[in-house]
Structure 1
Amino acid sequence: MFSQAPSPDLSAIIPMCNAAPTVGKVVESFLDVPGHRVEVVVVDDGSTDDSVAVVQALARDEVRLVRLEGNHGAGYARNVGFDQAHGRHAIFFDADDELHPEVIAEAVDALDATDADVAMMPYTYRRGWTSDHTGMNAFDDVVWKHYLRDERRRLVRLSDVPRLLGFSNYPWNKVLRTDRFRRTGLRFSETQVHNDILGHWMTLLDARSILLLDDPVCTHIVGDGGGNLSHRMGRERLALFDALDETYDTLERRPELRNRYSHHYWDFVLRSSAWALDRLAPEVVDAGRQRLQQHLLRINLADFMRIRERRDPSLADRIVRRSLV
């Protein structure tokens, strides 16, 4: 009889669309993770450049290429890749960022040594192809330092660290247990932009325990130009409110969690929408304000009263002001 090959320790799921200059290095970085078996699932989301050829040229058994018909967005591609992942753990990564392989190895080891469902780590930024690195954005930096308390690692529950729900909803700063999140139905939105909000919230809400590791896992490359989806501020940016609606739909189906974390959710809504509204093209601003108002009016009245009376009265005032604009 033939023995079945052991499962990989980690599946790296990488959506790809026109990433020929960068995707090869990203894949090779995962194959360089020390001490662990890694499979890389690259999901091509309708590339029209040489991205597919770059991945195929690697000619590695650990790399699987899944090709989609047309362009569906990174969220859809992540969902397809997760369905096909074989690893005990998984990470969702972008095709144009920089991985720190030794931190991935540390995260897998730490998950194996604890009962945590997900390991979460900080990140750094780099603009374009310069050598200048900066730390996390201001909100993330404050929250992270508050919860780590000068420790290198902490094993916590979400109720201990609820402000992580409002963390930038990047998918690549978390390594998660595949079986656990298959059972809970983890998925990403299928909007073209902001598709990682739902994945971020579902990951933290469904984690029975969370391991915080104070080593940056990724350098996020911030492009200099405006071609990237993250920089588009026309009507397509209104997909933010589709992603928020889908996330809130998930919370409404789980009223206990909606109640417990409602103030964190609505604070996140106001911060993320303010960021988008300040950058929208002038001809789209009114539509954006209307979508925000419609979303705010979905708030559960009992949740609002708890926010007003006990949890965060100033947040309640902000909700009212934005609802009446």
Structure 2
Amino acid sequence: MSVTSVIIPAYNACQKLDRALQSVLSNDSVLEVIVVDDCSTDSTSDVVSAWTMRTPRVRLVRQPANGGAGAARTAGLQASRGRYLYFLDADDLLLPGAIDTATEAIAQTGADVVAFRYGLVEDAMSPVHPMQPIDTNIWSALCGASPLRVLGLDEGGRILTTVNYPWNKIIDAAHYKANGLYFSNTRVHNDVYAHWHIYLNARRIGLLNRHLINHVGAPGNAQLSNNFTRQRFDIFQALDEVEALFAARPDVRARHYVWFLAFKLDILNWISWNLQPELHPEFIRRIEQNLAGYGDQDYLAAYLQDKQTAVLSLYLRHNAGSVLAPPRQAA
């Protein structure tokens, strides 16, 4: 049965879309694939329009202004009609039958979200590398050798600290439309909030122990993920949006805020290490401002769960420069 909506944000992606659409449409479970053209200056819309003439399963949504991948994903989510939602980037490489496999897993388990394994590649012809080390370790701890595990957030809270990729998750559309899922309008880190929203609002989480996609990581500055200019300060808006999510759910904050602190420590250290050196002093000030809301109750709750994270977060609040790695480019 065709039940899954696939959403692809696209900006100047004309050379990638034929391959992406062919791989998506080879899955019988796909009801529709919605390509959201983010005001491309190439022939992206023409490529998609040609596909819409071939099959009603392809739909084109045009953004009124260039707003970034997050806004495009949100527009696709709002336009979707499927029972399940899957967000794919135009340059990433689905393995054969990936969406069918993920759709079967979420339908079988009744989970709100099912996450699955991925690989890392430089291009379609390069060797496949394992998942990010943090994801590999968490996956092994939570899933082990089980082909498919279903658990609640209290049991599997460590899943919150996995990398905030949108393309290794399939989600229940009605559940997340009802609770207001969106992707941030920031140029970078636009998937941080959605990652936390999805897991914090999940009643049941499925972990599918299958490698279903290869993420293409372009070298240099070919991707926004490799951009460490002032644009990287978008992280603070993304973190503030997650803070608001916790503020609205005190019960969830008491149990799971420690994982958000761990996530902050990891991502802020990564940015600090890669950031342009001249931006570092301002970055440190912004971190200390961001941690100003880390109060005594948060510290005590975190200390009972993970002493190291609780203490390091306290240092991060008062003297971030003593905790984070200096910019490597400064050496």
**What range describes the TM-score normalised by the shorter chain of this pair?**
over 0.9
Partner residue of 2:197 out of 190, 198, 202 = 202
CA contact (8 A) 2:6 2:30 kept: no
User: Equivalent residue for 1:3?
Assistant: none
Q: Which of 132, 136, 139 is residue 134 of structure 2 equivalent to? A: 139
Question: Would you say 1:46 and 2:29 are equivalent positions?
Answer: no
Residues 30 and 99 in structure 2, CA contact (< 8 A), matched pair in contact too: no
Counterpart Cα distance in 2 of 1:275 and 1:169: 14
Give 1:77 shift.
0.8
8 Å CA contact 2:299–2:314 kept in 1: the answer is no
- Which secondary structure state, in structure 2, belongs to the residue aligned with residue 217 of structure 1? strand
* Cα shift readout 1:109-136 (whole Å, capped 9, x = no counterpart): 2222222111110110001354211011
1:16-165 alignment, distance < 5 Å: 16-33=10-27, 35-58=28-51, 59=53, 60-165=55-160
- Which of 303, 307, 315 aligns to 2:302? It is 307
8 A contact 1:15–1:44 mirrored in 2: yes
2:328 alignment counterpart = none
Superposition RMSD on alpha carbons, in Å?
1.4
Could you tell me how far 1:320 is from its partner in structure 2?
2.2
Per the TM alignment, residue 100 of structure 1 is displaced from its structure 2 partner at its CA by 2.0
Q: Which amino acid aligns with 1:53?
A: D
The answer to whether residue 8 in structure 2 is matched with residue 14 in structure 1 is yes
Change (3 A) 1:282 1:85: same
Aligned partner (choices 199, 215, 218) of residue 213 of structure 2? 218
Residue in structure 2 matching 1:182, options 163, 172, 177: 177
**Shift of residue 184, structure 1, vs aligned partner:** 1.3
Post-superposition Cα deviations, 1:235-293, rounded to whole Å, max 9, x if no partner, equal: 00000111011111111111111111011000100100110111111121112111111
Tell me the residue number matched to 1:254: 249
Per the TM alignment, residue 70 of structure 1 is displaced from its structure 2 partner at its CA by: 2.4
Indicate conservation of the 8 Å contact 1:307/1:315, yes or no: yes
User: Is it true that 1:229 corresponds to 2:227 in the alignment?
Assistant: no
SS at match of 2:233: helix
Identity percentage of aligned residues: 34
| 3-state SS of paired residue (1:123) | strand
Q: Which moved more, 1:291-300 or 1:204-213?
A: 291-300
Alpha-carbon shift at residue 193 of structure 1 (Å): 0.5
> Aligned partners of 1:87 and 1:101: how far apart in 2?
21
Which has the larger displacement, 138-147 or 225-234? Answer: 225-234
TM-score (norm 1): 0.94
Give a deviation string over 1:171-225, Cα, whole Å, max 9, x none: 0111111111111111111111001011111111111101111112211000023
Q: Distance in 2 between matches of 1:201 and 1:267?
A: 13
Instruction: Give 3-state SS (helix, strand or coil) of 2:32's partner.
Output: strand
Task: Report Cα offsets for 1:133-192 as digits up to 9, x if no partner.
Answer: 101111110000111121111111111110110000000111111111111111111111
Q: In structure 2, the residue corresponding to 1:122 is in which secondary structure?
A: strand
Which of 285, 307, 310 aligns to 1:316? It is 310
Say whether the 8 Å CA contact 1:128–1:224 is kept in structure 2.
Answer: no
